Structure 1
Amino acid sequence: MKKIRIGIGGWNFPEWRKGVFYPEGLPQRQELEYASHVLGSIEINATYYGSQKPESFQKWHDETPEDFVFAVKASRFATNRKVLAEAGDSVARFLTSGITRLGTKLGPINWQLAETKKFDAPDFAGFLKLLPQAQDGVPLRHAVEARHDSFASDEAAALCRDHGVALIRSGDSKFPEIDAQTADFAYLRIMGTTDQPLGYGEADLDRWADEARRIAQDREVYLYVISGQKDRNPAAARALIERLAQ
């Protein structure tokens, strides 16, 4: 079985304090260190909204265990556009912003498309060609989060497969759940947590744990509990980790 990493989006969330996820009294500066010893990965979301300092990526690298991995959400300026194939400058700017300071802890990059962006084969192919296999000597893995139904097609999957790019699978959400094997890793974002103590009910936790095991028969798995009832996401992630450890 391939490696399965379970995580959440971000780590700086006030509702996770006071014993909900972080122990009471834990200094805020130690939250990433704590989270990285409990979870297998974290998706960095702040990079979607604006550039981060290279020193920040270095700091995050240094505060986390050697086997920890970050997924990084790419800049919205590269993906929220009418013509994706014209995003070359924005893609290059993001890839040289300091993310490679994460080194071996740099996991997949999430190129999240706008909900209104429809699949256009020549345009999408042009965009995929902009995604390099390495930057500053650091290997890169790319994943596209398509949020329009038109991407649930064999042609879109084939283009991703040609470039070794994963199509992100969105679970328990309003977005299309595209389940296509297009890379040597799978990237899942599940968004159905509610106010239940563990975010998900027992049956749904079992379902996602079983699904992660199935996929891991031939691909590395990155699964993030995102959105939904956000204050319950760490509990859901930990419950999945416990099930997969059994």
Structure 2
Amino acid sequence: MQRRVRVGISGWRYPSWRGDFYPKGLAQARELEYIGEQMSTLELNGSFYSLQRPTSYLKWRDAVADDFVFAVKGSRYITHMLRLRGIEVALANFFASGVLALGDQLGPVLWQLPEREEFDAETLEQFLAALPRTTGAALDLARRHDERLDGRSWLDIERDQPIRYAFEPRSTTFEDAAVAPILRAHDVALVVADTAGRFPAFGEATASFVYVRLHGAEDLYTSGYTDPQLDAWAARIADWRSGAADGIPRDVYVYFDNDARGHAPHDAVALARRVGDTPQR
């Protein structure tokens, strides 16, 4: 089976991109549509800060082609405040908030931990075991949402399909050899993160797909990627896709988060061209 590489960006509403990446005069309401013409995927990050609404997910889905895929960043209430513990209601609320309205366009769900959160094998195992593995299971969980989602929940799926998860820890304690086997047992991808050396990069494939976040090689969130750097990433992606390292071909998702000075969309388009990721028009 031919594996797919998708390259995109994390978020898209950045005023400094207007007249730079976005054509001058493009209406703000059409910016996501424009992203869909240039890329094949996007990482939704508003879902990290607060529960979004079903109407928003439906609007985003309608703005792009059917082949476009949205990765969804999991709620920081779960990762940063609850610290992965006692999460059942919060997880139900997250999936009831409209995530399932993306249907076939739902890509991986990303869980990012704060640097202060250290590796604890039991906590990680329990968290991963609590994640619904299919949209059908997520729907069952979503139906147990609390009163905060009354009148604003989405409790429907088009079909039952697998859900992929990616995990981005930022503490060096996760460089423990025990982490990869736990993630591998649940088919959860350990995020390959380029953070200008600020956080661990990791790099070991732990799932049936690879998830890469490029935050900047020299300056976190700020610096752009040079042609040689993009060439190097394209080579790594080709190896993951072909299974050159371990004989297991994998889908690859790549998201640029070096958005502070507007480099992210330009770098994404440049890398997508190198790896043959052509969006559906």
Counting aligned pairs with the same residue, the percent is 39
The 5 A counterparts of 1:212-231 are 212-217=237-242, 218-227=249-258, 229-231=260-262
Structure 2 residue corresponding to 1:180, chosen from 204, 208, 218: 204
**Change in CA separation of 1:230 and 1:6 when aligned onto 2, cut-off 3 Å:** farther
Contact kept, 8 Å, 1:193 with 1:200, in 2: the verdict is yes
Q: Distance in 1 between matches of 2:233 and 2:24?
A: 30
TM-score with structure 2 setting the length: 0.82
Question: By how many angstroms is 1:82 displaced?
Answer: 6.1
**Change in CA separation of 1:153 and 1:193 when aligned onto 2, cut-off 3 Å:** closer
Aligned residue in 2 for 1:242: 273
Q: What whole-Å deviation, never above 9, does each CA across 1:96-147 have from its counterpart, x for those lacking one?
A: 1110100011000011111110000011111111111122334311111111
The 5 A counterparts of 1:145-156 are 145-156=168-179
List, as ranges, runs of 4+ consecutive aligned residues in structure 1 with deviation greater than 4 Å: none
Structure 2 residue corresponding to 1:142, chosen from 160, 165, 173: 165
Q: Distance in 2 between matches of 1:49 and 1:190?
A: 20
Contact kept, 8 Å, 2:194 with 2:217, in 1: the verdict is no
Matched residue type, 1:205: L
Does 1:205 find its partner at 2:200?
no
- The secondary structure found in structure 2 opposite 1:127 is helix
Question: By how many angstroms is 1:162 displaced?
Answer: 0.7
Q: Distance in 1 between matches of 2:261 and 2:101?
A: 28
Matched residue type, 1:162: A
Aligned residues: 243
The 5 A counterparts of 1:1-246 are 1-18=2-19, 20-81=20-81, 83-134=83-134, 135-136=138-139, 137-173=160-196, 174-192=198-216, 199-217=224-242, 218-227=249-258, 229-245=260-276
- The secondary structure found in structure 1 opposite 2:178 is helix
Matched residue type, 2:48: Y
- The secondary structure found in structure 2 opposite 1:139 is coil
**Change in CA separation of 1:138 and 1:100 when aligned onto 2, cut-off 3 Å:** farther
Question: By how many angstroms is 1:194 displaced?
Answer: 7.0
Contact kept, 8 Å, 2:194 with 2:214, in 1: the verdict is yes
Please, what is the CA RMSD of the aligned residues?
Answer: 1.8
Q: Distance in 2 between matches of 1:210 and 1:224?
A: 16
TM-score with structure 1 setting the length: 0.93
Q: Distance in 2 between matches of 1:204 and 1:156?
A: 28
Contact kept, 8 Å, 2:211 with 2:252, in 1: the verdict is yes
* Uncovered stretches (5+) of structure 2, i.e. residues with no partner: 140-159, 243-248
**Change in CA separation of 1:82 and 1:117 when aligned onto 2, cut-off 3 Å:** farther
Moved more, 136-145 or 42-51: 136-145
Q: What whole-Å deviation, never above 9, does each CA across 1:122-181 have from its counterpart, x for those lacking one?
A: 111111111111223343111111111111222111111111111111114311011122
Moved more, 2-11 or 170-179: 170-179
- The secondary structure found in structure 1 opposite 2:267 is helix
